[in-house]
Amino acid sequence: MKTNAKTSRLALTSLVLALLSLWTFLLTAIPAIILAIVSLIRIRKDPARLNDKRIAVMATVISVVSIIIFHIVSILWLLDAPPIPNDYKTTDLHSTPPEYAESDKILATLLKDEDNASDTPRIYRSRDRFPVTEHAAKAVLEGNLIQAIELIEERANSIEKAWNSIQKSREVICRLNTFPQIADLTEPNIEAAWGSLDNLRCLLHIYTAYIHLLSERGNCKTAVMQLIELDSVIRKMSVTARPILKKTACLEGLSLNMRTANSIINNPEASMVSVQLLAEHFTPITDEQTSFRTPFIYDYLVCKNTLDTHITQATKRSRILVRRNSTLRVCRNWYDTAMYYVEGVGKYGKNTLLLWPKCYPDSMPQWDGGSDIPWQYKCYNPVGCLLVSITTTPLSKIPILKTKLKIEQDLFQIVLKKRLGKRPSLKACAYSDEYFLDIHNRTILSVGPDRKAHTPDDIKFPINPELLDFKVCTETGILSDRDSGNLLLR
């Protein structure tokens, strides 16, 4: 017997929502089940008017399957990657013998920020009172020695006051210099890693201005002794420095000290005894002094401790958004890649840690630290990606800083050898084949990262061509470039 029963609209709607639930999961699956049940009840009550019970049943089955899939996906999403095997520890940082631990405490008094503390040198206040020292040091770093000397001569009284005001700091430098090694026992935490180094930079500026003042007044031997004492401490600090900011500050100090020594060498009043003292002290900077391996490991440990703190807090609120082990693997890949590019340690891509749980397919995208994090991983570990972006330190400028310091060392050694009457080589270590002698502008220079001469990124050392006798060098093998006025060694 035929009937005029119609297809239930609720059943059709539940089927549509059930099909959508394969992509939206619980968002439409639960409404689909509710509508399917309601439609089944109505069909049972009035089968003569409504039919297509199979549609409602099909919608229910599809919705249930989507819910099961959702829970499976959720369980897989909640899984974390395994712990990192043989992860870095504090013992992997550069360490000094226990008898030098006192030097870390002495250094701490130099870097403290509390200006009212009884054991804290009053350095930073000196910078506020005598900003000329900072301006002079900046001019020296930029290779503008004439501007630096003008500032120093104009504000000689202020520089002397600044020097006298840091007597306590100078005593600290003297004590530190008695240690064969200077320890750095900084604990890996975010406060210590980002601690202020303004005192150290200000101290370098005051030393630079005062040493230039002594040199211009003809007291070169005293200037040399002060410079050697300061540079000895900075060289020792650069070996053991843990935070990246302290390491970069030490390298900047080494650069500033070399440029200060260069100004003394180019001073006609500097005796050969003073020049010889500088030559004996300013030996080539070692790889250990410029290595960032310890700062990279330290920075990773800072990230690890910081992430553990934030992950512990986040776990109490929303555990499903946090993947501790996987997040640490991202950090580890970041710093391992940095060590490969900056230090040449390891093999790029060979030791990359997998970011996903073991049960995930091998086809899941990985990240080696050298590109953008895959969007799939950002969906898997959103909070971890955010914390990594906050805690990791930008490292792109470090290779440029190291290369610049190496070039400055070459330029300094060329000037030093010429003053000692030796024949130097102008063979360049980076950016070009040879260094330039610009007699007209009284500089020796290297092209910068843009590999073009006479651009703002050139690395310059001011020279006194007459004192260094570059004319003799011209007669014995230097080729003149008529267009640019530069001199190149054949």
Which own/partner contact pairs does 216-221 have at CB distance under 8 Å and 24+ positions apart?
Answer: 216/149, 216/152, 216/153, 216/267, 218/269, 220/264, 220/267, 220/269, 220/270, 220/271, 220/274, 221/271, 221/273, 221/274, 221/277
DSSP-derived secondary structure letter, 352: P
Q: Calculate mean pLDDT across residues 24-40.
A: 77
Q: Tell me what percent of the residues of the chain surpass a pLDDT of 70.
A: 81
Q: Calculate mean pLDDT across residues 227-232.
A: 96
Rounded Cα gap, residues 292 and 298, in angstroms: 10
pLDDT of residue 359: 86
Beta-bridged to residue 6, according to DSSP, are 50
pLDDT of residue 12: 76
Residue type, 199: N
Rounded Cα gap, residues 361 and 407, in angstroms: 48
Q: Tell me what percent of the residues of the chain surpass a pLDDT of 90.
A: 28
Rounded Cα gap, residues 412 and 446, in angstroms: 12
Length in residues, the chain: 490
Rounded Cα gap, residues 254 and 86, in angstroms: 35
Q: CA of 50: how far to CAs of 54, 63, 269, in Å? A: 12, 22, 111
pLDDT tens digits, 8-21: 677 778 778 777 77
Across the chain, what does the average pLDDT equal? 80
Q: pTM to 2 decimals? A: 0.80
> Which tokens is 393 given?
């330190």
Q: Calculate mean pLDDT across residues 402-407.
A: 93
Rounded Cα gap, residues 454 and 443, in angstroms: 11
Is pLDDT of 239 > 80?
A: yes
pLDDT tens digits, 280-330: 999 999 999 999 999 999 999 998 888 887 666 655 555 556 788 888 998
Res. 125 pLDDT band, cuts 50 70 90: low
Q: Calculate mean pLDDT across residues 398-413.
A: 92
The CA-based angle 455-448-468, given to 5 degrees, is 85
pLDDT of residue 318: 52
Is pLDDT of 485 > 60?
A: no
Is pLDDT of 225 > 90?
A: yes
Of residues 182 and 203, more confidently modeled: 182
